Structure 1
Amino acid sequence: MEALLNYFETIPSHHRAMIIVGGLTFFWLLEGIMPLFGKPYKKWAHAIPNIFFTVTTILVNLPLAFLLLKSSDWVAVNNFGILNWLPEMPLWLYIIVGLFLMDLIGAYAPHFVEHKVKPLWMVHLVHHTDHNVDTTTANRHHPLESVIRYIFTLIGVFIIGTPIALVMLYQSLSVVATQFNHANIKLPKKIDDVLSYVVVSPDMHKVHHHYRLPYTDSNYGNIFSVWDRLFGTFMKLDPDKIVYGVDVFPDEKKNGHIGELLKQPFQKYEKPTITPDEN
């Protein structure tokens, strides 16, 4: 475990890029073997805007990475944050506790807030207006959302007292986890159900991408599913009933155009009312 942390403490940038590209490639190929939804769509054309936003996410995070490093150094030197205040524990437990807390503050919390605060929801909409959710959807985030998520991660570092090795480990796991749970893959139902008690499984997360409330406002988890179950935001919906997109932006052509998506957070609409239970 110590060797793992040592590696992520100084992980080269090209190794992080390999994790992103490797995960996308793996799940992209897997989608062709065991698709959840087999309806035909132009997969490469669909991927172009999503890959564009993946690149913008990387470009936003790269110049800000030094803040994470400086913040991690500060909490270590000043013995600040939850991990530094807890009693001494085995390294494996320290890593698990750190990852769970980073997932709560750096992922679940901003995702929940984005759905509840209208200006932030408008920014987050870009992620939801994908009509064919697959592994490339994982990092389909408007550049403004990349900044919002970064701020929450930075806050998480201070509250938790996270060392940079744990931050890098968490971000690497987060990338692969989101590529996995967005992937258009069909796992055996029992396996997906069992996985959903620990991590966010594909069927669990697809509910979040249903085009209508209340399902859109559920299953906010990133890596671990415990937060949705603990805070009462966990919901189920038969995959056959899932329709991707958002009902207030129904134009699939516009929702696949990079220019339109960049403008989307600044357009007006009325938030839809919650629809009856579709189970």
Structure 2
Amino acid sequence: METIINYFETIPSSHRSIILIGGLTLFWLLEGGLPLFKYKYNKWKHALPNLFFTLTTIIVNFALASLLYWSSGWVVAHNFGIINWLFPDTQPLWLYAFLGVLLLDFFGAYLAHFVEHKVKPLWMVHLVHHTDHKVDTTTANRHHPIESVIRFAFTLFGVFAVGTPFALVMLYQAMSLIFTQFTHANIKLPKGLDKALSYFIISPDMHKIHHHYRLPYTDSNYGNIFSIWDRLLGTYMYMDRENLVYGVDVFPDEVKNGQIKELLKQPFQKYEKPTLSADVEE
């Protein structure tokens, strides 16, 4: 564990790029061999807007990275935050690291995601992520630039609340990146395996329920890495994978939802109140 912590303390930017590109490439290839849905589409054309928003996310995070570095140094220097109060000498290291990542996953991912769905202006920004009609691994980082700033703010808050040092922040972000590519990937795991995984981590089927086009499924399964938060806080829902329909019912135009210009404008458009699904699976 100490070796891992030391590595992420000084992880080069090139290695972070390898994690991004390597994960994307791996799941892109797996989608070809183990597809959940056999889309009839030009995969590169579909990926273009998603990769554009991946680039804007990188730019936003890079521009604000110094804030994460400063805040993570401050909490350690001042012994501030949950894990520093629980483990003032950081021992046992494995538990200190595990709780740091677990709690940062709550503040930086689950809580941010939950709030985005409950606060209308934030939901309008988050819509860009949900209006992909053919969810695949490139959908993972399809976030409007405004949302990238919002997500960063929640992560920054999490660093202060949890007290995570820079190494754990980098470890969390690397894990978060791989998990979001994995859970969005258009891959078909055996149902039993997917279900078993969902008791501990966010599995592909579990997350894709969140991308169903109608409520209440859209407002469920907010987690990113660990499934404990959805199960503990009552936001877990199940739907058979065969019944999934991606998108958002109030933004049904698949052509517009695949155009960068339209997606950049999407948070500022008006829309009708979404409707509840008539049937909810137990």
Residue type matched to 2:66 in 1?
F
Instruction: Tell me what 1:6 maps to.
Output: 6
SS at 1:236 equivalent: coil
CA distance in 2 between partners of 1:185 and 1:10 (Å):
33
Instruction: Tell me what 1:205 maps to.
Output: 207
Between stretches 115-124 and 91-100, larger displacement belongs to 91-100
Q: TM-score, normalised by structure 2?
A: 0.98
Residue type matched to 1:14 in 2?
S
Instruction: Tell me what 2:139 maps to.
Output: 137
Identity %: 71
Cα offsets for 1:175-220 (capped at 9, x unmatched): 0000000000000011001100011000000100000000000000
1:223-262 matches, within 5 Å, as 223-262=225-264
Instruction: Tell me what 2:148 maps to.
Output: 146
Instruction: Tell me by how many angstroms 1:51 deviates.
Output: 0.3
CA distance in 2 between partners of 1:278 and 1:71 (Å):
43
CA distance in 1 between partners of 2:272 and 2:38 (Å):
33
CA distance in 2 between partners of 1:32 and 1:79 (Å):
48
RMSD: 0.8
Instruction: Tell me what 2:85 maps to.
Output: 85
Instruction: Tell me by how many angstroms 1:40 deviates.
Output: 1.5
CA distance in 2 between partners of 1:213 and 1:14 (Å):
41
SS at 2:73 equivalent: helix
Instruction: Tell me what 1:176 maps to.
Output: 178
Q: TM-score, normalised by structure 1?
A: 0.99
Aligned with 1:113 (options 115, 131, 138): 115
CA distance in 2 between partners of 1:12 and 1:73 (Å):
18
Instruction: Tell me what 2:129 maps to.
Output: 127
Instruction: Tell me what 2:269 maps to.
Output: 267
- The answer as to whether partners of 2:39 and 2:134 remain within 8 angstroms in 1 is no
What 5-or-longer segments of structure 1 have no aligned partner?
none
Cα offsets for 1:66-87 (capped at 9, x unmatched): 0000001111111111111004
Instruction: Tell me by how many angstroms 1:140 deviates.
Output: 0.2
SS at 1:247 equivalent: coil
CA distance in 1 between partners of 2:280 and 2:69 (Å):
46
Instruction: Tell me what 2:16 maps to.
Output: 16
Instruction: Tell me by how many angstroms 1:278 deviates.
Output: 4.0
Instruction: Tell me what 1:157 maps to.
Output: 159
Residue type matched to 2:28 in 1?
W
Instruction: Tell me what 1:94 maps to.
Output: 96
Equivalenced residues, count:
279
